[in-house]
Amino acid sequence: GESVGLHLPTLSVQEGDNSIINCAYSNSASDYFIWYKQESGKGPQFIIDIRSNMDKRQGQRVTVLLNKTVKHLSLQIAATQPGDSAVYFCAENILPTGRRALTFGSGTRLQVQP
């Protein structure tokens, strides 16, 4: 399957541990952010999003934290499972988006060790 990059940063965690995946964005005007998960051989799949009027948003086993001061986004996965192994992308945009579409980061590979 397709995945991104020989040079992707890789996070290796033990099954059951919590994972934290980080993303730095460069455009201070960005105010909408999405995390995607891409498993081998598949297209990216939406995980969770957050708008800039929030610092934190929680989903099922996932939490996204946004620090606008340092332009940093993180994805926390609780009780990481082998099925969480994938490449994770953050994407950003500015609302209203005008002609601009989502801009994707380069991705982080998460490897879950049994």
Partner 1 sequence: DAGVIQSPRHEVTEMGQEVTLRCKPISGHDYLFWYRQTMMRGLELLIYFNNNVPIDDSGMPEDRFSAKMPNASFSTLKIQPSEPRDSAVYFCASSWTRDNEQFFGPGTRLTVL
Footprint (CB under 8 A) of partner 1, residues 42-61: 42-46, 49
Q: Does 24 bind partner 1 (CB under 8 A)?
A: no
Q: Does 72 bind partner 1 (CB under 8 A)?
A: no
Q: Residue written as tokens 């332009």?
A: 71
Least separation in angstroms between residue 78's CB and partner 1 is 21
- As a whole number of angstroms, the distance between CA 86 and CA 11 comes to 10
Q: Are 15 and 114 in contact (CB under 8 A)?
A: yes
E strand or H helix that includes residue 71: none
Among 61, 71, 72, 100, binds partner 1 (CB under 8 A): 100
- As a whole number of angstroms, the distance between CA 60 and CA 11 comes to 21
Select the span of 2-10, 16-24, 55-63, 75-83 touching partner 1 (CB under 8 A). 2-10
